[in-house]
Amino acid sequence: MKLARKDLLGLEGAAREEIELILNTAGAFKEVLQRKIPKVPTLRGKTAVNLFFEASTRTRVSFELAEKRLSADSVSIAKAMSSAEKGETLLDTVRNLQAMKIDFLIVRHSAAGAPHFLASRLEAAVINAGDGAHEHPTQGLLDLFTVRERFGSFEGLRVVIVGDVLHSRVARSNVFGLRTVGARVTLCAPRTFLPKGIEALGVEVETDVDRAIEGADVVMVLRIQKERQDGCFLPTLREYAALFGINRKRADRLKPGCLIMHPGPINRGVEIEPEVADGPRSVILDQVTNGVAVRMAVIYLLSGGEVEHGVVG
Amino acid sequence: MAWLVKGARLLDPARGIDRTGDLLVDGGKIVRVGGEIRADGEPATIEAKGCVLAPAFVDMHVHLREPGREDAETIESGTRAAAAGGFGAIACMPNTDPPLDSQGAIRFVLERAEEAGPVQVLPIGCITAGRRGERLAEIGDLVRAGAAAISDDGSWVESPLLMRRALEYARMFDIPVVTHAEDKRLSAGGVMHEGEMSLHLGLRGIPAESEVVAIERDVRLAELAEGRLHVAHVSTAEGVAVVRRAKERGLAVTAETAPHYLALTDRCLAGYDTNRKVNPPLRTAADRDALRGAVADGVIDAIATDHAPHPLHEKEVEFDAAPFGVVGLETALAVLLTYLVRAGHLPLPRLVECLTSAPAKILGLDLPGLAEGADASLVLFDPEGSWVVDPSRFESLSRNTPFAGERLFGEIKALFLGPKRIVPRPKSGGGFLFPDEEAR
């Protein structure tokens, strides 16, 4: 089976079969990553450019490693090193990249829709590595992969996402992805962090975290940006931690087998207590490991690669 | 030069005229209206069967960008665009650089328009000095220099005390205070309508309430000051409701909306097309439908384009970074005919009223209309003529239209302005710039 699309810009509108294909392919690549030499020659001769207009460690390194494990040539550009700092427009950046005949462009940008802008003007495959408060599809996919790895399927699972939903691209991609594969999603946040009309996405909404996480199979904790407490969103981070933080007391009441996830980076002591982040329920580092396999799968499939019976061709 | 327009639908709602007939223009004046006219001499005959002859349109909300941003538009290019769209008079907003907050600035616009443009330009002066919202501009001086209204368009006058004083002061000159009703503290950096679409697109939203609370406050202040308030570019159903209540209470409140709010909704932002990024933003289908109803029943008095030219390179950027605004002069009639009249939402005479006598009345402009002896100020258009919007053919220096590539109905055939006849190049292809224009 092949992935019939040029770009991966978001999980909204992605078909269940597409998501499953990517997760299955990621499973095959995860096996590759366990090998003594975790590298395949699949994308030899192809070139990927990682264009990161926003600071990122794990996503950027994860993509770079995925490209290297597939034997693609790759170049990474951070905003501070790019001509954008000299005032070059995104359009000129695209034109230059187009002229250099690249195959993949992985882009992170603070403006929602920036990857769409690039994708419509570039022949190369564009992968959204996070655009503003819009989507972060590979994060959503690696979260799905991690959940499926533990539970085997999504049927009947109840996933609770806690935190700043309003500004979170991770929350959006996860809502779209999880809903498509059949999980139930509850969003839990202060009212100021819940976009108006969010229920239209087919999710349940709860503002009492203790009620929300009761009986949950997965609790995904979102990062709270410290500057939000100045933006009339929160009185103080201290109050947020008290009302919504996943502390040990709350974690102890979770049902057995419940996973705790976080896309990172973590504000220890704000949205999650260190003991919980590092505790037995936490799969935060598994998410990071799985990220490489999922990104290998996405790049491979967008290059036209096929998968048969879980074997990467 | 004399012209005889034969067999057109003569339409002048302000005078109760709607019939088929001929019209003769000679020496810049309308000599005869109606029936079959056999003229002495040899007037140029224009066969106009199927076309509509109406008073030239008036656009009360245009941005000409000169002085300051002549790369986006100039008074010359903007007035040519206006002529191509069938407008005989346009009012230009003062948010130029420098802003139109002095006699000198108003006079500059009038002089440039006199030299350069085929159509009449009515400058609108600032409410506050430098549009800074701190103290009143010299409104009396602005009016003496020729300002037709005052506005801080682009910004709302945040201080309620200053707005009250502006409304009181402007009464002395019987000019409207045009409000850009948007509480930016509530818009909070938003780039599109706050709702289901902004949620999906991950773009920061501008709630309808940022407009509604601003209109509500200004209506209250207009009542207190017994002043004349005109609400620019109404975009929300609730904004319409506030204007409706104000009118029911007999206040001197008028309102306009723009063709794009009557045609489009926030759903068309799905592809992050910055040529659809406007302020106020495109709203929901319910808002659009309420606006259509309000135009039909007269709660919205006038339709103005809010023509806001921006150069291509400024729009070819990330959605967040793009400036707000679309050009509208050259597509207004066709958009309105296509989306409202042909779709059955608005009768043609009401549309013509919204584009002629209604804005003229708000601006205190004497509209000659289809009357014998009046100065010729007429537009001839074919409501069935269809064309595909090709921004590269615009007279405007800017190309930022949300309707590019769309087939629209309604083609301007000619504009008669005093002794001049202006024939825009056909939008459906071929031709030259203003080939028949005379005595420019």
Tell me the per-residue pLDDT of A56-99, one tens digit each, with 9 for 90 and over. 999 999 999 999 999 999 999 887 777 777 778 888 988 898 89
Say yes or no: A192 contacts chain B, CB-CB below 8 A: no
Task: Report pLDDT for A166.
Answer: 95
* Residue of B287, B306, B375, B382 marked active site: B306
Kindly identify which residue of chain A lies nearest to residue B312, measuring between CA atoms: A91
Of B195, B316, B320, the CB nearest to A111: B320
Could B202 and A201 be called an inter-chain contact, meaning their C-beta atoms sit closer than 8 Å? no
Residues contacting residue B239 through CB under 8 Å, at least 6 positions apart:
B181, B208, B211, B212, B215, B231
Contact residues, chain A, for B207 at CB < 8 Å = 196
Contact residues, chain B, for A110 at CB < 8 Å = 320
Interface test with B, best of A79, A121, A134, A174 (most B CBs within 10 A): A134
pLDDT tens for B42-77 read 899 999 999 999 999 999 999 999 999 999 999 999
Task: Report pLDDT for B28.
Answer: 95
Residues contacting residue B214 through CB under 8 Å, at least 6 positions apart:
B156, B179, B181, B182, B183
pLDDT at residue A224 is higher than 60: yes
pLDDT at residue B426 is higher than 90: no
Kindly identify which residue of chain A lies nearest to residue B189, measuring between CA atoms: A231
Of A116, A120, A197, the CB nearest to B199: A197
Q: How confident is the model at residue A308 (pLDDT cuts 50, 70, 90)?
A: low
Please state, in angstroms and as integers, the Cα–Cα distance from residue B248 to each residue in A262, B220, B363, following that order: 56, 14, 22
Task: Report pLDDT for B440.
Answer: 37
pLDDT at residue A313 is higher than 50: no
Could B195 and A197 be called an inter-chain contact, meaning their C-beta atoms sit closer than 8 Å? yes
For a pLDDT cut of 70, what percent of chain B falls above it? Answer: 97
Say yes or no: B201 contacts chain A, CB-CB below 8 A: yes
pLDDT at residue B438 is higher than 70: no
Say which amino acid occupies A206.
E
Say yes or no: A134 contacts chain B, CB-CB below 8 A: yes
Q: Check if B218 is active-site.
A: no
Please tell me the pTM assigned to this model.
Answer: 0.92
Could B316 and A89 be called an inter-chain contact, meaning their C-beta atoms sit closer than 8 Å? yes
Query: How many angstroms separate the CA of residue B270 from the nearest CA in chain A?
Result: 9
Task: Report pLDDT for A309.
Answer: 54
For a pLDDT cut of 70, what percent of chain A falls above it? Answer: 97
Q: How confident is the model at residue B391 (pLDDT cuts 50, 70, 90)?
A: very high
Could B199 and A195 be called an inter-chain contact, meaning their C-beta atoms sit closer than 8 Å? yes
pLDDT tens for B70-127 read 999 999 999 999 999 999 999 999 999 999 999 999 999 999 999 987 899 999 999 9
Task: Report pLDDT for B429.
Answer: 55
pLDDT at residue A307 is higher than 80: no
Kindly identify which residue of chain B lies nearest to residue A88, measuring between CA atoms: B317
